[in-house]
Amino acid sequence: MKSIQERFSQRPKKEYFLFPLPKGNIRITRLQSLQSEIHKLKRNFV
């Protein structure tokens, strides 16, 4: 956990989101799941 937090603090946030760590990040996975859910909702309405 400490190593991931240290890497996150060292990198700029934008760069971190563009190039996530191989282990992945909770925020990034949540963002992707939200985008997929929104895509499904849009499909249902259209």
All structural domains of the chain with their residue ranges:
2-45
Name the more confident of 40 and 16: 40
Integer angstrom CA distances of residue 20 from 4, 5, 28, 38, 45: 11, 12, 8, 22, 32
pLDDT of residue 24: 56
Q: Which two tokens stand for residue 33?
A: 């799941």
Task: State pLDDT tens for residues 1-23.
Answer: 566 666 656 655 555 455 555 56
- The DSSP code sequence of 6-39 is HHHHHS-HHHHHHS--TT--HHHHHHHHHHHHHH
